[in-house]
Amino acid sequence: MSLNTKLPSFNQLKYFVTVAKHLSYRRAAQVLGISQPTLTSQINALENSMGVVLFERSRSGTLLSAQGRSLLESAEDVLHACMRLEEAARDLADGPQTTYRLGIPPTLGPYLLPHILPVLHKRYAKLKFYVREDAPKHLEQGLINGEYDLILSPSSTISSHLVVEPLFIEPLKFVVASDHRLAGQAFVQPSDIRGEKVLTLQDTHHFHHQVQEICALLDADLQRDYEGTSLDTLRQMVVMGMGVAFLPGLYIHSELHKPEALHVCELAEMPIKRQHALAWRNTSPSRVFFRELTSEIKLLVKERLGDVVNVQ
């Protein structure tokens, strides 16, 4: 393959890194939001410009070539450097009041953001957030890759490349149908959960794995055949008597408008909770503002939701 002196474009490097991550042209095209033929064409152009073959292609799948493995780290370094340059230029042009890409889990965003974003918009007239929901592990990887400027996520598996600022601790409530044998009690003994059919979300959610750990601890029966696609569907399955569940405190505070359909309680002497944190890259030029933003969010949550969550 002859060497072309044309330098690879930013998009071509991004396409290369994305295909290397997923080892699938189809999945990479979906993530990038482009057609598969376009992706294939750009990877071919990148290979021609650099004079190397980046991927081995066969009917069994896509693999990085030896040359691709050697170049991947350098390509990632170039991408991160370009993103830092973009962030620095944006910060110099607009100051802290600009548009930031915010990632947040779907089990938190709708029940928290309405309480904080309108006030932040009033305090910072030009501040805007482009909000996207995704599972925490995808949010963290997306933050590292530059898809997000900051994320709001459980802080248990955050990378060492990120700055993590704890925000608040949210309780998980135990809910049963109003005609369930445990209904009517403010506190349920953990031993009463043994053998109960516990419903949860699909395993793409971090919330699923937390409930799975609780079930293992209490010897409860996690219902893998009847997983909810959202907290709303999970609630409806409990109402229909298909099982019991744990639901986030903010969701109950925001969405449980008919408490007579469900009974909400807690486990005696065994509070179940999850922690939320704001995270950003430790190289972000906006990191000073993000610390200021963390303080503002904490104050707002304490003021508006202090009876629901514990601000740290």
Assigned CATH topology for domain 10-76 = Arc Repressor Mutant, subunit A (1.10.10)
* The pLDDT value given to residue 2: 47
In tens, the pLDDT along 79-102 reads 888 887 877 676 656 555 578 999
CATH class of residue range 171-273: alpha beta
Pairing of strands 61-64, 128-133: unpaired
Domain made up of 88-168+274-311: CATH architecture = 3-Layer(aba) Sandwich (3.40)
Does the pLDDT of residue 1 top 60, yes or no?
no
Does pTM surpass 0.75?
no
Which are the contacts of 116, defined by CB distance < 8 A and separation ≥ 6?
297, 300, 301, 304
Measured CA to CA, the distance from residue 92 to residue 296 in angstroms comes to: 22
Neighbours of 213 (CB within 10 A): 12
Contact between 238 and 227 under an 8 Å Cβ cutoff? The reply is no
In the chain, which residues fall in CATH 3.40.190.10?
88-168+274-311, 171-273
Question: Given this model, what pLDDT does residue 202 score?
Answer: 81
Percentage above 70 pLDDT, the chain: 93
Residues of the chain with CATH 1.10.10.10: 10-76
pLDDT tens for 221-257 read 998 877 778 899 989 999 999 999 999 999 999 887 6
For tokens 């639901």, the residue is: 247
